[in-house]
Structure 1
């Protein structure tokens, strides 16, 4: 089970990295952890394989059960990220019939088709490879996976907590900048008020311009990677940071 989980975590990372690199016309290192794997794929697919085992020979039931289980998993994963890390990495609010922007019928339908392809065509090949590997290593690979991914998870949680603290610090800096713009507007001469008012109305661009003139502290490598990997990510308690995060990720 551990090797199965790891295998699909790596496959999921490869899929996302290749797809997003092609879509963005540049290399995109995907994933939430440091290593080349996406555990959400490992957890999701392992769970789906277990829950659909009894209906794997019935195409219709396989589609329905797979669609339901995958959607539940996606909803729970979204809720977990929001409550624990104050982040929203995907948002289906613009899709018809969505539930709190976490899941949507169109996406769930896609998951159902994907589960059929997974169970009927992909998993038999993957299982043969895993059986061969287990016979060769006698469980040592599974132990190595636990150590490596466990360490990576702890390091990533520390990094994400630091990232969250950083976003709040940027929010405070932006608040101070906006207050400075308000003071300048109050003290502005009549001929300067139109300019000061525009600067306040478009504070995000004014803030970016100031950073270009007076560059200071920038985000770390992993923080920039997270923003680039999840461009729709929202930090729920640092709303002003969300408006300038793309610029900061390029610094």
Structure 2
């Protein structure tokens, strides 16, 4: 009886924390996608994964909820602790993703008081305010939903969600590994074309018609364009979802790589 009770207690606690992770990973995805979509004036899935979650938000809020209970009624401590925890998780996540994928997925280098471009004090202060508001106003609703799901669906729902997450992560990971090699080839081709056009201008004394003359050159030259790797939907989405993405294996901007990838897609659809 004692072992059965202990097992049930462990399963319940495990289910609750996993559901908290997924709940706040979804809330974070909804917030960030809405923010980016409003700025770009069209819908953007702002997550790294295909599914509607951003794991860093789930981990951050789960960590905060695990630590803040003794300080829940002390707004000052709650604010400082929340800002510190979220900042630490954001920094570690940025570093790990750069080591794994050889790319900086977000960059705060232009924000004052940043630390290696991975985190910035103004952003951290904002996260502190956001977490306090979530704990005070959103968490009671989320806690009610999570408890309902844990009681009615329990470990089976948790196992299903983890399985979907693992499939999503594996599929995205496979695409990102190929993405690095493909974007390097595209970036190198763009830099070669820009250099070729600049040399031509220097030799003839002419002027480039506009700054995107290199893109028009690829549009006109089917052979050169078709020799480049074709980015799939997932890879093109990553370029759109992370406008501040900085690839370590090429000095070409993500904006230029994305422009050429979209050009290839449009021209291929016309055939």
**Paired position in structure 2 for 1:25:** 41
In the TM superposition, residue 31 of structure 1 has moved relative to its aligned partner by 0.7
**Paired position in structure 2 for 1:170:** 186
2:106 to 78, 87, 90: 90
Whole-angstrom distance in 2 between the partners of 1:134 and 1:157: 30
2:205 to 194, 198, 207: 194
The structure-2 alpha-carbon separation of the partners of 1:86 and 1:205, relative to structure 1 and needing over 3 Å to count, comes to same
**Paired position in structure 2 for 1:81:** 97
Aligned structure 1 segments of 4 or more residues deviating by more than 6 angstroms: none
**Paired position in structure 2 for 1:237:** 249
Please, what is the CA RMSD of the aligned residues? 2.2
Task: Specify the SS of the correspondent of 1:52.
Answer: helix
Residue deviations 1:32-63, cap 9 Å, x none? Answer: 11112111211111112112222112111001
Whole-angstrom distance in 1 between the partners of 2:37 and 2:255: 24
TM-score using structure 2 length? 0.81
In structure 1, stretches of 5+ residues that fail to align are none
Kept after mapping to 2: 8 A contact 1:228/1:249: no
Whole-angstrom distance in 2 between the partners of 1:22 and 1:144: 32
**Paired position in structure 2 for 1:228:** 240
The reply to whether residue 7 of structure 1 matches residue 23 of structure 2 is yes
2:57 to 26, 38, 41: 41
How many residues end up aligned between the 2 structures? 241
In the TM superposition, residue 243 of structure 1 has moved relative to its aligned partner by 5.6
**Paired position in structure 2 for 1:213:** 220
Kept after mapping to 2: 8 A contact 1:167/1:241: no
In the TM superposition, residue 178 of structure 1 has moved relative to its aligned partner by 5.0
**Paired position in structure 2 for 1:71:** 87
In structure 2, stretches of 5+ residues that fail to align are 1-16, 264-271
Whole-angstrom distance in 1 between the partners of 2:243 and 2:136: 33
Whole-angstrom distance in 2 between the partners of 1:249 and 1:91: 23
The structure-2 alpha-carbon separation of the partners of 1:134 and 1:243, relative to structure 1 and needing over 3 Å to count, comes to closer
